[in-house]
Amino acid sequence: MSSVKVVLLFGVLALILVGFGTLVGYLIGDMLVMASIFFALAIGMNIFSYYKCDYLAIKMTKTKLIERKDNPRFYDLVKKVAETAKIPMPRVGIMPSTTPNAFATGRDEKHAVVVATDSILSMLNDDEMEAVLGHEISHITHKDVLVSTIAATIATVISYIGNIILFSELFGGMNERNGNTSILLLVSAILIPLGATFVQLGISRSREADADIGSVQLLRKPDQLISSLQKISKPVNKNASISRSSIGFPSRNSPNNSANAFSALFIMNNLNAHSLLNLFSTHPSLEKRIAAILKEKERLKIA
């Protein structure tokens, strides 16, 4: 059902792009050349992000790629889940952070990397950690990096068109067109990109929900997934001491703030817990996630 929702949301994004482009072409056709330039730039940037997403995520989150000898427990858990999913063994990384979380990225199964923060490894038992890894590896098998890249490309193009209109109207365009046309353009330039952003976030929430279900279907550990989500959704104790001796990180308690840029990748977006009513949330609420997991548990008749 969630996959159908994603297809519908992509349809809405495409309609927004076509409709917005048509409106711009009808009212100010001379700007279509500039819009086309930004369209090409958006595609280029997102193609680069798609192919370099693993490299960028590792560098920006200060993740340390490990071998089995560095952390046998975590490495073996990733290997176990990857074998269950029948995918090649992904690279494994540990991110220094007091925020318990995990993420996976990479453009395909051969270029995947699975990362966990050191704090989540200390917090969860093996079954809970497996359930989390089932979620992350489901992102890999569902091609979610590709899905999110396409959504980001379309939303970025729409945003660029909106910015072109705003600058045009505010710096001379309003003097060349009648009042009604300028008002229509300004309102469209503000509301249409905002609508596209909401649709893009809806796609992100759907992919997260699908990854939860993917974990349950792959490992049949719904209770452990729920338990892990409940644990890592609790407020982080900034004064908690995290042991890093087993993985070679210096001891420090401050979170990795650079990870905020990649918060949409994480299993739980709790790096910005005080966002205004979760208006721009990349993840479903904890309550909705638990309800969906329990529904899947009942459907699969898991004891």
pLDDT tens digits, one per residue of 117-166: 999 999 999 999 999 999 999 999 998 887 887 777 677 777 777 777 77
Sign of the CA dihedral with 272 first, then 278, 283, and 288 last: positive
* Amino acid 253: pLDDT: 39
**Which domain, by its residues, includes 32?**
2-300
On the question of pLDDT at 223 being above 90, the answer is yes
Of the ranges 39-48, 167-176, 194-203, 211-220, which one carries the lowest mean pLDDT score?
A: 167-176
Active-site residue, 136 included: yes
For the residues 232-241, what does the mean pLDDT come to? 61
Answer for the pair 249, 64: CB distance below 8 angstroms, yes or no: yes
* Amino acid 254: pLDDT: 41
* Amino acid 242: pLDDT: 38
Answer for the pair 272, 260: CB distance below 8 angstroms, yes or no: yes
* Amino acid 57: pLDDT: 86
Answer for the pair 108, 52: CB distance below 8 angstroms, yes or no: no
In 3D space, the residue among 225, 230, 264, 6 whose CA is nearest the CA of residue 134 turns out to be 225
Which residue in the block uniquely carries the two structure tokens 């990384």?
Answer: 93
Q: Which of 109, 128, 130, 136 is catalytic?
A: 136
Residue 100, helix vs strand vs coil: coil
- 196 exposure class (CB count in 10 Å sphere: 0-12, 13-18, 19+): buried
* Amino acid 68: pLDDT: 97
Displacement of CA 88 from its chain's centroid (Å): 22
For the residues 88-111, what does the mean pLDDT come to? 93
On the question of pLDDT at 249 being above 50, the answer is no
Where would I find the H helices in 28-71?
A: 32-60
Q: CA 220, CA 214: separation in Å to the nearest integer?
A: 9
For the residues 14-36, what does the mean pLDDT come to? 63
How many separate domains does the chain show?
1
Going by pLDDT thresholds of 50, 70 and 90, the confidence category of residue 246 is very low
